[in-house]
Chains A and B, each alone.
Chain A
Amino acid sequence: MLRAIFVIFFFQLLGEALKKFFEMLIPGPVIGLILLLITLIFLKRFKTRAINNLKSDVLNTSNYILSYLSLLFVPIGVGVVMHLSYLENNLFKVLIIVFISTVLTIGLTAFLMEKINKRINKK
């Protein structure tokens, strides 16, 4: 568990450092995600026991953290409610726009993907 937390923090740290260094718009944790993914794929070639142990440790800990992913959005979400007045008289209009656009985007994206997958699988 502790080793896995170290690995995850380390990759985030690496991501944050790279972001700062190259002045990227992509957040540090997303860079950390990409680096960890590349590392995991690279390590596939080496099947020693030590690496396998560490890997399964990271897998289990990550799954545990991710099972509480929703909880992590609560503090910033409370901030949204407390600062809704920022939107002033736009609040209602913004809610309608976000609702329509978000629901349509989800439908369109998933629709396209399912249709293309079906067509490919038929071939």
Chain B
Amino acid sequence: MIQKDKLYSIWVYLQAEPLFWLTLTIGSYLIGDYLYKKSKLFPLVNPVAISILIISLVLINLDISYERYFDGAKFIHFMLGPATVALAIPIYKQFKVIQKEALSISVSLVAGSLFAIISTFALCEIFKIEDQVLFSMLPRSATAPIAMGISDLIGGIPSLTAIITIITGIMGASFGTFALDFLKLKDMSARGFGLGLASHGIGTARAMSRNETAGVFAALALGLNGIATAILVPLLFKLLNIF
């Protein structure tokens, strides 16, 4: 009995410290990554989705609040900013290829960005989604911080946008390659660009784990579509209000 009390007090002590949640995050990711590699990089075995699932199960079962977990995990979360800056390096290395494909990049950027927004709008109308949720969904193909800013601007709920944006990323990373294979697309720059444009950072991470060129074009698309969405959504929104 004394033993059990002692174990419990150790747990109470540990769960209040960031170290426990940091270790859990990295450990779960390693399990996800191991399974991803074991599956020969099969897209449905997504390491991000697996680790999210493991950690969520732990939190729900032990009745731990997200805020407590994030208190530890924020150290990993923090690195997202520097990692975004670091995306300059692969883009720099492939700068010549990017210049060469400038035309196809700009055409597919505008077409893809518009399609993402308009198809979301059309589907929301079909499924009779209420306006506030619809507004929160429109910018979902942009990277989360941009999407949240746009959502706020047009009367959506930024935290809801964050959730939908991350879901978009995981969907794109898990199912996007099936669409690319179905269309028999071989061009690595085009495959990467599609993934990065529609499913931002998580799609880019997936492209990077497969092929360097695909990764570079995904990173490029992530940056460009962030900017394109920030311009197009408010613009289309104004047009919508006129009619």
Contacts and interface: CB of A to CB of B under 8 A. Distances in A.
Contacts of A106: 172, 176, 179-180, 194-195, 197-199, 203
Given A86-B160, A97-B129, A112-B111, A70 B149 contact: no
- Most chain A beta-carbon contacts within 10 A, residue among B70, B82, B146: B82
Interface of A: 5, 8-9, 11-12, 15, 25-30, 32-34, 36-37, 40-41, 58-59, 61-63, 65-84, 86-87, 90, 93-114, 116-118, 120
Given A103-B171, A103-B176, 7 more contacts: A70-B206, A73-B169, A75-B70, A81-B56, A103-B172, A106-B203, A110-B187
Contact of B95 (A33, A41, A96, A105): A41
A87 B85 CA distance: 32
Interface string B123-161: 110010110010001001101111001100100000110
B178 to A, nearest CB: 7
Nearest to B56: A81
B184 to A, nearest CB: 9
- Chain A interface main SS type: helix
B83 interface: yes
Q: Which of under 10, 10 to 19, 20 to 34, or 35 or more describes the interface residues of B?
A: 35 or more
A82 B223 contact: no
A25 B190 contact: no
- Chain B interface main SS type: helix
A104 B119 contact: yes
A36 B76 CA distance: 22
Interface stretch (B6-14, B102-110, B235-243): B102-110
A57 to B, nearest CB: 11
Given A59-B89, A83-B66, A94 B83 contact: no
Interface in B89-125: 89-93, 95, 101, 103-105, 107-109, 111-112, 115-116, 119-120, 123-124
A114 B52 contact: no
A16 B175 CA distance: 34
Contact of B133 (A94, A100, A116): A94
B56 A12 contact: no
Contacts of A11: 85, 88
A37 B196 CA distance: 18
